[in-house]
A and B are shown apart, each in its own frame.
Chain A
Amino acid sequence: MSSTILWTILVLFALGVVLAVMLYLLASKFKVEEDPRIDEVEKVMPGANCGGCGFAGCRAFAQSCVEAGNLDNNFCPVGGNDTMKQVAAVLGLEVKEKAPQVAVVRCNGTCENRPRTSTYDGIASCRVQSMLYTGETGCRYGCLGCGDCVNACSFGALSMDPSTGLPVVDESKCTACGACTKACPKAVIELRNKGPKGMRVYVSCVNKDKGAVARKACAAACIGCGLCVKTCTKGAITMENNLAYIDYEKCKLCRECEAVCSTGAIAGVNFPKALDKDAIKARIKERQAKAAEAAKAAAEAAKAAAAEKPETKEA
């Protein structure tokens, strides 16, 4: 009896040794040569495998960084500048610092602002709804409210607000991976620079219809009046297809556009003080009056110069 047990152990042990040697030999013969730096880079990655960088996962991103030999086109939005610095250190490369970004929902079509004109009773998916028709409200550009973005977020940063029917971004959790921007069939969500202390100003509307049509569909729509473009002294606002857009690189957060916007389509967030519309409007008025005066003076000066000229000619 005991010899049977002994033999069993011996045979299995011998088999194990033989197979291990075979595996070792085969593994060394068919070894795939891989840059060891890929593993090192992968170690410093966040490991979310969210695909926000445009690659299939963190390893694919690491491989691309190593193979490219520079970090110009690669950026991990989740890890941000810290991770990229670490990656650069591993590879001995340089990396440009990028301003941290955040997902911004550019629609303020709440239940009060945007009256429902029909009811959608299909499956709760923005994509399916957008294939069938333009949505439950008169606005054919805005948020459909089925939460495809919420489902797309791997970080739990998005949630639907039942009172407004719009998604809300939790800035502390958002990594700006961009999954929600791809999931939204209406392209309502945009990645924008987070701004100093999270302060930023943006146009919270994507409606490209003419003013009257947009206004009828939603009380908070951008009507393309162009007042913000005229007011902005930094040239940060452009108007295209009846819709204003604020360039976050140029915006200096003066909030003048927000104060003059008649429909409240421009939103400023995370500012320590509430918007004092009257003070800002007074400031703009003063500046404009000064500018008008200056222009008048310049015109008069030009006139005087023109009047003087013939005299000099005569002389």
Chain B
Amino acid sequence: MKKLTFRIGGIHPADSKISASCQIETLPLPEKMYVSMAQHLGAPATPIVAVGDKVKAGQVIAEPSGFISAYVHSPASGTVTAIAPRADIAGNMMTHVEITVEGDEWMEGIDLSNTLVTEIPSDKAFILDRIKMNGVVGLGGATFPTHVKLAPPPGKKAECVILNGAECEPYLTSDTRIMIERSSEIVVGAAIISVALDGCPVVIGIEENKPEAIQAMTQAVETLRKTVPACACIKVETLKKKYPQGGEKQLIDAVMRRQVKSGALPIDAGAVVQNVATALAVYEAVQKNKPLVTNVLTVTGECQKEQHNYLFRIGMPLSFVAQQAGGVPEQAAKIISGGPMMGKAIANLEAATVKGSSSLLYLTEEQTKRPAATACIRCGRCVDACPMGLEPNLLFKLAKAGEMEQLEANSVHDCIECGCCLYGCPAGVPLLDLIRPAKGDVIRIIRSRK
């Protein structure tokens, strides 16, 4: 079978998917949960409950406060005991709704059964409304509100939906597990996305290092195709194992052989990219009316005794998750949320899980040690590795000198911060460390011009 991949750059880090064979386990509920109001890209949500209110699981507790914003639901039943600022994983304060858990009672109208509902509503507006009201956001990392992405601006048409099952980040296996264990639901979710975009064809891209997932997904598509007409346009494609295969622009290049112009959105190239976990959330929102309050997270690392894939509810403190998995291993020097390439180091383990949480990755001192930076020898490895076709060594130099015009001329704003340039640098130059703030500055300058 032909394997697809993107054409420029990329690297091959060890995939370290040591938790790939661990079945998804459901976490018990902690005593207290802290639901952040900023779990999505865009404006933070506004709480609509008050201290002392009784809430049920799945009840709306916060409303969107802008066009790009999302509803937030209660992950458990209990009493709202505080609405106060609390530190997130980076230590920044954000309003959290504290819920003291009492039992586990869900809102009426939410279908909690496991039966597969395959009748897909034909009304587009109904689908988008369900997705919006159930607070679904993109679970591939950026947490962009899904209902906004599924309503392309007038004049632009989606020609292909790409379902991202690449999971190219090393260590992460949450997407792998849901593709194996909940393949039929994901396929129905994909069909719903297709219906919402006027029957646009769907390609599910999965990296070759997940043969079980590819098999499960192919089988699910084959089976459902016979009974559900909307599933006829769904296809599973194998992608080469190469980082960052799951990058939005890289996937579009791999699957559609199209490149997204600098500054343009995927929809300009006729593509809509959604994560497989988002498709699952869409399925639950539309078919079961279940809000996005659960997601799957991987607890892994070489120093972690037992690897786990957990079905968690948003608002559980990360320390609680760590404790359920046997506590933070002694050798762990750094804990990362997300993958080792693009994830963020956790400075505050008391922070709560959010919709987009995907892992607790423990790295040892040795694994995290950064080499002492020596002078750039212009070997060009970073240029070869950059999947966006940029020259990281040049951008680094320009960023150091603060040459904003030159940075813009060299398209620093196209950087996707994947870290490929850093990965292979033999001189250990902290390329991305300086390119990232420079990118922010240039984007600000470009915006101020408009």
A contact set with B: CB distance below 8 Å: 117-118, 121-123, 125, 127-128, 131-135, 140
The docked-state distance in angstroms from the alpha carbon of A131 to that of B436 is 9
**Main SS of chain A's interface residues?**
loop
| Contact between chains at B347 and A123 (CB < 8 Å) | no
Known contacts A118-B347, A133-B345; A128 and B91 CB within 8 A of each other: no
Is B92 at the interface (CB under 8 A from chain A)?
yes
| Contact between chains at A133 and B430 (CB < 8 Å) | no
Q: Which 7 A-B pairs have the closest CB atoms?
A: A134-B91, A133-B90, A123-B433, A123-B430, A133-B347, A118-B347, A122-B433
A-B contact pairs, 26 of them (CB 8 A): A118-B347, A121-B368, A121-B370, A122-B430, A122-B433, A123-B430, A123-B433, A123-B434, A125-B433, A125-B434, A128-B433, A128-B434, A128-B436, A131-B436, A131-B437, A133-B90, A133-B91, A133-B92, A133-B345, A133-B347, A134-B87, A134-B347, A135-B91, A140-B87, A140-B91, A140-B92
Is B440 at the interface (CB under 8 A from chain A)?
yes
User: Which chain A residue has the least Cβ–Cβ distance from B433?
Assistant: A123
User: Which chain B residue has the least Cβ–Cβ distance from A118?
Assistant: B347
| Contact between chains at B345 and A128 (CB < 8 Å) | no
Q: A213: shortest Cβ distance to chain B, in Å?
A: 10
Complex contacts, B93 vs chain A, CB 8 Å: 140
B contact set with A: CB distance below 8 Å: 87, 89-93, 344-345, 347, 368, 370, 430, 433-434, 436-437, 440
The docked-state distance in angstroms from the alpha carbon of A128 to that of B430 is 11
The docked-state distance in angstroms from the alpha carbon of A223 to that of B436 is 35
Q: A141: shortest Cβ distance to chain B, in Å?
A: 11
Complex contacts, A121 vs chain B, CB 8 Å: 368, 370
The docked-state distance in angstroms from the alpha carbon of A37 to that of B347 is 57
Complex contacts, A128 vs chain B, CB 8 Å: 433-434, 436-437
The docked-state distance in angstroms from the alpha carbon of A123 to that of B400 is 11
The docked-state distance in angstroms from the alpha carbon of A87 to that of B370 is 53
Q: B373: shortest Cβ distance to chain A, in Å?
A: 8
Q: A30: shortest Cβ distance to chain B, in Å?
A: 28
Q: A308: shortest Cβ distance to chain B, in Å?
A: 53
Q: A94: shortest Cβ distance to chain B, in Å?
A: 38
Q: A273: shortest Cβ distance to chain B, in Å?
A: 41
The docked-state distance in angstroms from the alpha carbon of A26 to that of B304 is 79
User: Which chain B residue has the least Cβ–Cβ distance from A127?
Assistant: B437
Complex contacts, B437 vs chain A, CB 8 Å: 127-128, 131
Complex contacts, A133 vs chain B, CB 8 Å: 89-92, 345, 347
The docked-state distance in angstroms from the alpha carbon of A135 to that of B92 is 10
Complex contacts, B436 vs chain A, CB 8 Å: 128, 131
Complex contacts, A127 vs chain B, CB 8 Å: 437
Q: B120: shortest Cβ distance to chain A, in Å?
A: 43
Q: A185: shortest Cβ distance to chain B, in Å?
A: 10
The docked-state distance in angstroms from the alpha carbon of A55 to that of B106 is 62
The docked-state distance in angstroms from the alpha carbon of A123 to that of B430 is 7
Known contacts A117-B347, A118-B347, A121-B368; A132 and B90 CB within 8 A of each other: yes
User: Which chain A residue has the least Cβ–Cβ distance from B370?
Assistant: A121
| Contact between chains at B92 and A134 (CB < 8 Å) | yes
Q: A200: shortest Cβ distance to chain B, in Å?
A: 32
Complex contacts, A117 vs chain B, CB 8 Å: 347
Complex contacts, A135 vs chain B, CB 8 Å: 91
The docked-state distance in angstroms from the alpha carbon of A117 to that of B335 is 13
User: Which chain A residue has the least Cβ–Cβ distance from B333?
Assistant: A119
| Contact between chains at B370 and A131 (CB < 8 Å) | no
User: Which chain A residue has the least Cβ–Cβ distance from B429?
Assistant: A123
User: Which chain B residue has the least Cβ–Cβ distance from A121?
Assistant: B370
The docked-state distance in angstroms from the alpha carbon of A133 to that of B89 is 8
The docked-state distance in angstroms from the alpha carbon of A209 to that of B370 is 33
Q: A50: shortest Cβ distance to chain B, in Å?
A: 16
Complex contacts, B433 vs chain A, CB 8 Å: 122-123, 125, 128
Complex contacts, A134 vs chain B, CB 8 Å: 87, 90-92, 347
Q: B415: shortest Cβ distance to chain A, in Å?
A: 14
Complex contacts, B91 vs chain A, CB 8 Å: 133-135, 140
The docked-state distance in angstroms from the alpha carbon of A180 to that of B169 is 39
Q: B223: shortest Cβ distance to chain A, in Å?
A: 46
Q: B100: shortest Cβ distance to chain A, in Å?
A: 21
Q: B343: shortest Cβ distance to chain A, in Å?
A: 12
Q: B382: shortest Cβ distance to chain A, in Å?
A: 16
Q: A33: shortest Cβ distance to chain B, in Å?
A: 30
Complex contacts, B430 vs chain A, CB 8 Å: 122-123
User: Which chain B residue has the least Cβ–Cβ distance from A129?
Assistant: B433
The docked-state distance in angstroms from the alpha carbon of A117 to that of B87 is 14
The docked-state distance in angstroms from the alpha carbon of A117 to that of B344 is 17
Q: A122: shortest Cβ distance to chain B, in Å?
A: 5
Q: A98: shortest Cβ distance to chain B, in Å?
A: 30
Most buried by B among A122, A127, A133: A133
Q: B319: shortest Cβ distance to chain A, in Å?
A: 14
Complex contacts, A140 vs chain B, CB 8 Å: 87, 91-93
The docked-state distance in angstroms from the alpha carbon of A140 to that of B440 is 22
The docked-state distance in angstroms from the alpha carbon of A132 to that of B436 is 10
| Contact between chains at A131 and B347 (CB < 8 Å) | no
User: Which chain B residue has the least Cβ–Cβ distance from A123?
Assistant: B433
Complex contacts, B90 vs chain A, CB 8 Å: 132-134
The docked-state distance in angstroms from the alpha carbon of A122 to that of B437 is 13
Complex contacts, B87 vs chain A, CB 8 Å: 134, 140
User: Which chain A residue has the least Cβ–Cβ distance from B93?
Assistant: A140
Q: B151: shortest Cβ distance to chain A, in Å?
A: 32
Complex contacts, B347 vs chain A, CB 8 Å: 117-118, 133-134
User: Which chain B residue has the least Cβ–Cβ distance from A209?
Assistant: B93
The docked-state distance in angstroms from the alpha carbon of A128 to that of B347 is 15
Complex contacts, A123 vs chain B, CB 8 Å: 430, 433-434
